[in-house]
Structure 1
């Protein structure tokens, strides 16, 4: 575990277990056992599994919130949108364990409040990639640019090649989609 404080260690271990065996099948007891602490020590920091998950989401989605705030303060130019995609890719790579959990536990995430706020963030982020008067095909290009970054972060392990090279190629494709949408405008 890279991060040292107890609260963070709990979140890291819980996220690993949630991703391994599913949110529903993971108990607070298992999290405590993996950490080699008592359930009472765990309760000191988090009362429920959902509290742990909310804390994970808050910590790992903070860069996304910062990115949205940054993008909203910038001029709505193609260069701003390019930089937004570059920064989003970095944020995705940092939060990879969370997104892997979300992929494996979609039904659970939909039922929890964190799923709704994440969906709202995605809608806002995608909206920042495009102009309101874009044709539908160009809106699809912008949505596809964002989700290309997701695919590059989480689904490229089965593609041959150097990890860094795959991330660069993914960003290039996302930028190509974004630029194609803006050329058509």
Structure 2
């Protein structure tokens, strides 16, 4: 039950942060939208920063699990494609698209949060895992753009313009083309 309440708080806070901005949203407003007292909210989170840190912390934990799975594996094409699919599953398991929108709209608030630095570090590790130790700058760039494409898919193919399934498939197709070096297929 506590995990469900925690998830509800995160979802509502994220919606409010995205609608109004981080600085313009108060804990009181989050509690009101939840239909609980501010004291009940404090039981789970003492501040807005704690809410945001919890959202990014959950994502960083999923990244750590993915990187543990990838540890020691050769960066073959099959491994890279499997990694992309697992990563996309991780993004879809979280409120990643909303979190990315929040980060984009509230960069000053995110700048100094501890998990933001961990997230950037994990992204660098993922590029290294996908590219391999002896990769050229071009190859590292290709791997990074493949990952970034998964992140940016919601901004490039906004909700309402395409279905979630079509957005996901388009993002994975482009990421796979970057990973494998094959492109030019018209859909």
TM-score by length of 2: 0.85
Mark the runs of 5 or more structure 2 residues left unpaired by the alignment. 183-187
Deviation per CA, 1:72-128, whole angstroms, max 9, x where unpaired?
153332211111111111222233222221222222111211211111111111111
TM-score by length of 1: 0.86
Moved more, 130-139 or 39-48: 130-139
Distance 2:3 2:45 in 1: 17
Q: Give runs of aligned pairs for residues 111-130 of structure 1, distance below 5 A.
A: 111-130=112-131
1:111 is paired with a residue whose SS is coil
Distance 1:137 1:159 in 2: 35
Mark the runs of 5 or more structure 1 residues left unpaired by the alignment. none
Deviation per CA, 1:4-40, whole angstroms, max 9, x where unpaired?
7222221221111111111111111111111121111
Which residue of 2 is the match for residue 47 of structure 1? 46
Contact 1:93 1:153 in 2 (8 A): no
Which residue of 2 is the match for residue 145 of structure 1? 146
Distance 2:109 2:35 in 1: 27
Count of residues in Structure 1 that have an aligned counterpart in Structure 2: 179
Distance 1:37 1:72 in 2: 44
C-alpha RMSD of the superposition: 2.2
Q: Give runs of aligned pairs for residues 106-185 of structure 1, distance below 5 A.
A: 106-157=107-158, 161-180=162-181
Which residue of 2 is the match for residue 35 of structure 1? 34
Moved more, 108-117 or 72-81: 72-81
